[in-house]
Each structure stands twice: as C-alpha cells, then as structure tokens.
C-alpha cells in the first residue's frame, strides 16, 4: 500500500514542485491559485470519455497566467423526463429529481462529480463552475406524476447535486417543484447543505403537517476552517445547525447526516455532529463513509495533499482498509458503509451515539394515500 501512496504523491508533486502555487494533475494541467480561488478542486482533468487528453505547458511567454479564473456559468438543459428511477437495493428511495447538473458548493469529495463526463466536461473545476439548470423541471414533473397508472412513492431531491445551491436563488426551480408536489399531495424527501431551504418553509411546513415532507441536513464537519476548504460554497456548519432548528420549529421532520465521514480527518466528530443536530431538533440521523468513484479519487487526493500533506498517507491508508485495498468499491451493501474493522468501529460509534440521543427511535414514513394526480396545464379537465 505504501508503494501505491508513494506513486500518488509522485504523480501530484512532479519531483517536488511547489504544490501550494500550482497543482499538477495526471494530465499535466496546472491550475494557478488565482484561477481557482473559492473552489475546492485544484485540477481539471479531461473527462473519461474524451478521445484526447489536454496537456498544458509553459512555453516561456507566461500565457498560462493570462487565463481567466473559473467563473460560474449556467447553461439551460432541456431533458425529456425529470424523474430518475433506480433499483439499488442499498438505498431507501426508488426515484429522484435533480433540478441541476453540477454543483456550485464544490464539495471536493462529491460522488456526483463523474456525471459531468457525460457532458464532455471535467469532474474537477468544471463540475463546480460549469452548471446546468433545468427550468422545465416542474412542468415535466407535473406531467409525469399525472400519467395514468403512476404509483406515488417518496421523491428524493438532493441525492446527486444540491437543489439549494447558490444559483437556486435566481432560478427558483426547486420552489416550482415543491409547488407541484404540494398541489398533488406527493411526498418528498430533501437532502441539502444550504440554509436556502428555509426560504421554502411555508410550503414544507404545510406538507409536513400532512406527513408529506422531511429534510436532511448534511454536516461533514463542525470545523469551520476545514469546511471552508472542503466544501467552499456550502453554508457554514453553524448555519446548517441553525437551519435545522428553524425547520424543526416549523414542524418539519429533520435529520442530521454525518456524511461523508472522512476517515482520519472528520471521523472523530461523529458524536459531536449528532449531539449538535439533536440539540437543534433533529429526530433522525444517518452517516455515509467517504466514496471516491472514478474521477473523484484524483480530485480528492490532490486536495488532501494540498491542504493536509501530513495526513495524506494516513487518510488514504484508512480509506483503502475499508475498500478492500482500493480507493473505492462499488459493491452494493458495502459501498456506503465500507468493510473491515475500522468501518465496523465507525458504525458502532454512530449507533451508540444515535441510541443515546434517541435518534431514529421513531422514523418518519411519508404518506402516499393523499396523492391526487394533477391535471397538467393545457389538458382538458375531467367532467366527473
């Protein structure tokens, strides 16, 4: 394992280059500090489906320094459908909605980063700066749940990218989706790292009163400095806790998610995160071990080496001890929790803390019996 880690270090440092000023990815692409300010990723490698790999080098004319910073750009995406189905046996939902593709929060560990490769973009800085919005999401959702034979079950939102990321302030796609779901009495479960969810407390509280809505806040760490580097444009940890309190006071069932747990970096905070969430009104809790599929692995390792070089070996060693010696293992049943003694220890600590606080004692099961299929705009109403 030490040989693998040494190879990782050599790939990123390239003979001792100053990694604090210019990082080098596996394709040799240097991203200067001033170009990625406010971003988590330090590299922007080509997507795995690209036929060519980009190779940037300094020709002596200092042209690299003249490149503009990675500003946030939003494109409109017009999908044909909006509900994504899945048959995964180790997750609690079978359908989800994603109002956006890519996420400005820029969490360096985000398992959704590889999805940007489908658009011919990078899972690195492109994922957090080149975003796609789906303004037709509410209309498509209304049409799909109105289809004859549709069977309602909880729609999960925020499982891929955050529906309340900063661009939601302008686009308000999530607000439109909730209005459709409320009108149809359709259950919804939301996961977010944003305080913007409080904007929709009016809708969510009415739905929660009928047993149709619940919200989970993901808290990776309570260390503000660590959160700033690891998830730079998400709400601060303290603001997420305040958001839990506001939601709980409005009668909305709230969960605290210690997710992801980064071994050797944030795993010592599990009990504190649950304690803090419970104090703010959370009634349920969950956790997920760090996942590093495909392009996420080099993005995370570059970040770790840049910010915590003294912990690099230890963190990777723990990760691989829970993934059968690999950066990631996608096996159903173990991909979320890991395997081995260290994963077992984390699981038992979580269970003991949750039990002590009374979390998960009574889980909220959302109702489906109140569902009334909507009549999409432009279609004739039924006479009887």
pLDDT tens figures, 140-162: 999 999 999 999 999 999 999 99
User: Does residue 46 or residue 163 have the better pLDDT?
Assistant: 163
- Is there a domain that residue 364 lies in? no
Mean pLDDT to the nearest integer, 194-222: 98
**pTM of this structure:** 0.89
Separation CA 102–CA 127 (nearest Å): 5
Q: Is the pLDDT of residue 138 over 70?
A: yes
14 assigned to some structural domain: no
Question: What pLDDT score was predicted for residue 244?
Answer: 98
Asked whether residue 48 is assigned to any structural domain, the reply reads: no
Q: What is the span of the domain harbouring residue 209? A: 76-98+134-357
Question: What's the pLDDT band for 75 if we cut at 50, 70, 90?
Answer: very high
**351 pLDDT exceeds 80?**
yes
What is the number of domains present in the chain? 1
CA dist 91 → 218, 245, 329 (Å): 16, 26, 16
Q: Lowest-confidence range among 25-34, 75-84, 199-208, 260-269?
A: 25-34
Q: Is 28 a residue whose pLDDT tops 70?
A: no
Is 241 inside any structural domain?
A: yes
For residue 44, being part of any structural domain is answered with no
Q: What is the CATH number of the domain that holds 168?
A: 3.80.30.30
Q: Which residue has the higher pLDDT, 277 or 36?
A: 277
Average pLDDT over residues 340-344: 98
In sequence order, which residues have a C-beta less than 8 Å from that of residue 59 and are 6 or more positions away?
none
- The alpha carbon of residue 214 and the mean position of all alpha carbons in its chain are separated, in whole angstroms, by 17
Q: Check residue 47 and give its pLDDT.
A: 86
Q: Is the predicted pLDDT of residue 217 greater than 90, yes or no?
A: yes
Tell me whether residue 367 is in a domain. Answer: no
Q: Is the pLDDT of residue 137 over 90?
A: yes
In a domain, 126, yes or no: no
Q: State the pLDDT at residue 23.
A: 41
């Amino acid at each position: 394992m030490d040989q693998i880690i040494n190879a990782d270090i050599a790939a990123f440092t390239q003979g001792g280059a100053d990694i604090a000023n210019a990082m080098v990815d596996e394709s040799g692409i240097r991203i200067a500090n001033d170009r990625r300010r406010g971003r988590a990723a330090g590299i922007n490698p080509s997507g795995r489906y690209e036929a060519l790999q980009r190779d940037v080098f300094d020709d002596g004319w200092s042209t690299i320094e003249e490149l503009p910073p990675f500003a946030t750009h939003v494109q409109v995406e017009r999908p044909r459908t909006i509900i994504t189905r899945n048959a995964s046996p180790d997750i609690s939902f079978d359908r989800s909605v994603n109002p956006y593709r890519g996420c400005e929060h820029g969490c360096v560990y985000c398992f959704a980063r590889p999805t940007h490769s489908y658009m011919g973009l990078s899972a690195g800085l492109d994922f957090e700066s080149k975003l796609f919005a789906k303004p037709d999401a509410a209309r498509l959702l209304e049409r799909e749940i109105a289809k004859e034979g549709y069977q309602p079950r909880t729609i999960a939102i925020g499982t891929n990218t955050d529906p309340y990321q900063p661009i939601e302030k302008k686009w308000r796609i999530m607000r439109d989706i909730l209005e459709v779901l409320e009108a149809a009495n359709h259950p919804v479960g939301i996961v977010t790292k944003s305080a913007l969810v409080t904007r929709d407390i009016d809708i969510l509280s009415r739905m929660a009163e009928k047993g149709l809505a619940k919200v989970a806040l993901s808290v990776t760490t309570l260390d503000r400095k660590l959160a700033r580097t690891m998830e730079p444009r998400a709400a601060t940890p303290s603001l997420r806790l305040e958001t839990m309190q506001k939601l709980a006071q409005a009668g909305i069932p709230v969960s605290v998610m210690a997710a992801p747990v980064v071994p050797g970096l944030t795993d010592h905070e599990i009990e504190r995160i649950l304690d803090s969430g419970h104090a703010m009104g959370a009634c349920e809790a969950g956790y997920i071990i760090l996942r590093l599929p495909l392009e996420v692995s080099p993005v995370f390792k570059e970040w770790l080496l840049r910010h915590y070089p003294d912990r690099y070996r230890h963190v990777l060693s723990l990760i691989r001890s829970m993934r059968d010696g690999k950066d990631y293992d996608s096996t159903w049943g173990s991909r979320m929790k890991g395997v081995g003694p260290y994963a077992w220890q984390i699981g038992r600590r979580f269970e003991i803390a949750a039990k002590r606080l009374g979390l998960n004692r009574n889980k909220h099961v959302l109702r489906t019996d109140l569902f009334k299929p909507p009549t999409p705009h432009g279609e004739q109403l039924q006479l009887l």
